[in-house]
Amino acid sequence: MRILIFNFFSGVMERGIPIYCRNLREALEMEGHHVVELCCPVWAHGVPKSVQNVLFMLYEQLLMPVLSLFHSKSVYPYNTASVLGSLHPGALLIVHDFIPNRKADKSLVARYVRLTQWVHAALGRDVACVSTATYRVAVKLKAFTRSRRLVLPNGFWTFRATIRGLAFPQGDEVLLCTGIGQNKDLRGALDLYASTLAQRRIPVSLLGLAGDASITQRWLAEHPEIDPTLIRVLPRLTDTEVVEAYMRSRWVWVHSRNEGYGRSIAEAKCCAKYTIATNIPPFRDQKDHTVQLYGDRKSFEDAVTVLEHLDRSALPPQEPAEDRLLAENVRQWLKTGS
C-alpha cells in the first residue's frame, strides 16, 4: 500500500510532530507499506516563519490533494487537514490536542484548524488521537462523531535506536523540557525555579527552545537576584545530543499547562531518568514510580525533595508501551477503510 504523510516541517523542526511522523513511518514500513513524505522544500528552511506558514497552507490545501490521488492513504499530522484532500476516502487527520479549538481563540491559525477539522469531520473521515488523554477529550467534546476514531500514539523506535550503545555520566543540571508556546508556560516554570531550585543552587538547562534565549533573558532582567550562570538554554540539538542531554541530567522536569501527550516523560524513562511534571491529564496517564506530579509551588517543592533524596543512579531504563500500541493500531487502521 502506498501511503502519503504530510511531514512539512521535517528538516525545519527537530522535535515535535516531525518526530511523530518519523515513528509513524517506521510503524508503517514495518508492516511492508511504501511511505512517501511531503516536506518543506530545502530552499525554504531558512525563510521567515511567516513565509513557511504560508507555504504550509499551500502545500496542505493544494499539493496534498493532488498527490493523494496516487496513494491509498494520506496522513495529515498537524491538527489540520486539506479541505479537498479530505474528499479522499483514505484521508487521516492526526489530532495532538484541542488547544486551538477554543472558540475564544480568534487567531488565523485557530480558525484554520477549526475550519479544516470541521470539513474532515463532516465527511466522516478517519481521525487518530496521539494519546488516550486526547481521545478522552474528543469523546467528551463529542468531536468527530461521524468519523472512525482511534489512538495512534507517539512511537519511540527512532529514539531508542539513537540510545543504543550510548552512555553518559549523570551531571548536576536539571533538564527542563519546554518550548515557546503559551501552553508551555516557560515564565511560570522559571518562577518556580526561582522559588525552589535557585535557592539550592541547582542549575537548569532548557531543551526545546533551539537556542532562543530571549524569554529567559527578559526574565533574568526582571530577577537580578538569580545567578544567570545557573540557567542554560540549549541550542538546536541532533538526536544523539538530545539523548546525551537526558542522560547527563540530574533529573527531568516537564512543565506545561496543556498537552496532548508527554513525550519528554517517555523519553526520560527510556534514558533511565526520574521526572517531575505538572499534574495534567496526559501526564497523569504516564505516572509511575519514576514520575512525581505537582500542581503548585508546595507540591513542586515536595517533588524536588523526594527526587533529591533518591539514589537516582539505580534506575533502569524502561521500554515504552506506546510502540506496541502504535503497531497494533496501525494494523487496525489499515485493515478497513473509511
The tens-digit pLDDT sequence of the chain (338 residues) is 999 999 999 988 877 899 999 999 999 999 999 999 999 999 999 899 999 999 999 999 999 999 999 999 999 999 999 999 999 999 999 999 888 887 777 788 889 999 999 999 999 999 999 999 999 999 999 999 999 999 999 999 999 999 998 889 999 999 999 988 888 999 999 999 999 999 899 999 999 998 889 999 999 999 999 999 999 999 989 889 999 999 999 999 999 998 888 899 999 999 999 999 999 999 999 999 999 999 999 999 999 999 999 888 878 999 888 899 999 999 999 986 54
Instruction: Give the number of domains in the chain.
Output: 2
**Which pLDDT does position 106 carry in this prediction?**
78
Helix (H, G, I), strand (E, B) or coil at 203: coil
Which pLDDT value is given to residue 88? 96
CA distance 73 to 91: 6
Residues 46 and 131 both lie in one domain: yes
Give the pLDDT confidence score for residue 234 in this predicted structure.
95
Amino acid 290: pLDDT: 96
Q: What pLDDT score was predicted for residue 99?
A: 80
Looking at the fold, whether 198 and 244 belong to one and the same domain comes out as yes
Same domain, 150 and 40: yes
CATH number for 273: 3.40.50.2000
Do residues 83 and 229 share a domain? Answer: no
- Say whether both 221 and 99 belong to one domain: no
Rounded Cα gap, residues 118 and 265, in angstroms: 32
160 sits in which H/E element: helix 157-163
Count CB atoms within 10 A of the CB of residue 98.
19
pLDDT of residue 321: 86
Same domain, 13 and 137: yes
Half-sphere exposure of 200 toward its Cβ, with a 13 Å CA cutoff?
15
Q: Any idea what the CATH number is for the domain that residue 142 is in?
A: 3.40.50
Containing structural domain, residue 173: 160-314
Predicted pLDDT of residue 217: 95
200 and 183 together in one domain: yes
Q: C-alpha cell of 175? A: 533538564
Cα dihedral 186/189/190/193 (nearest 10): -160
Whether residues 166 and 310 share a domain: the answer is: yes
Distances in Å between the Cα of 288 and the Cα atoms of 265, 276, 284 are 11, 11, 9
Residues 117 and 167 in one domain: no
pTM given for the model: 0.87
- Whole-angstrom Cα distance, residue 81 to residue 54? 15
Residues 297 and 327 in one domain: no
Same-domain status, 144 and 192: no
Residues 258 and 280 occupy one common structural domain:
yes
